[in-house]
Amino acid sequence: MLSLKEIVPSAQNNINTQFIVLDKGRIQGSQNKICLALVADETASVHFQLWNEECDVFQPGDILRLSNGIFSYDRSKNMVLRAGHRGKVEKTGEFTMVFVESPNMSEILWVPDPNNSGKYIQESVISPHSRIFPPMI
C-alpha cells in the first residue's frame, strides 16, 4: 500500500492506497456523473475523481481503500487520482484517520523524467495546498 506522498503520475492502473475524504465538490454531468473530492492521508492530500454512483455514496469523513487506481491527467489537464475502469474504491471506515492537507499531489507540476522515459518527476510546487478546496481553519 502506497502513501499518498509516494504516488507518481503513470498510465497504469497500479496504485493501491487508503485515504480519508475531506471535501467534495459539485456533482457534474448527467449521463455520467463526475465529482472532484479532496482526499488525504498522514503524508499528503490529492484530488480524487469520483465517478457515477461513487459521487453520491461517499461523504466527507469516509475512509476509502483504492485498489488498482490511476494517477493521471483528466480531460481538463488536471492531475487527479481515480479508480478508473480497472480499479476499485471501497469504504473501509469513517473518521479515525489523521491527515495533512499539504503537500497536495495534484498541485505539483509533473514533467517527464529525462533519464527515464515514461516516468514523471516533480518539477515545482504550484500551490502548497489545494486551490479548489482551501484549508479549513
Q: Residue 66 corresponds to which cell in the numbers above?
A: 483504492
Q: 90, 123, 125, 128: which one contacts other proteins (CB under 8 A)?
A: 90
- Tell me how far apart the 2 most distant CA atoms of the chain are, in Å: 43
Residue 16 to residue 117: CA distance in whole angstroms:
23
**53 contacts other proteins (rule: CB under 8 A):** yes
Least distance (Å) between residue 117 CB and other proteins: 37
Q: 48, 58, 71, 110: which one contacts other proteins (CB under 8 A)?
A: 58
**91 contacts other proteins (rule: CB under 8 A):** yes
Residue 46 to residue 42: CA distance in whole angstroms:
12
**19 contacts other proteins (rule: CB under 8 A):** no
Closest alpha carbon to 51 in 17, 78, 72, 82: 82
Binding site for other proteins (CB under 8 A): 22, 53-54, 57-58, 60-61, 65, 89-92, 94-96, 98, 136-137
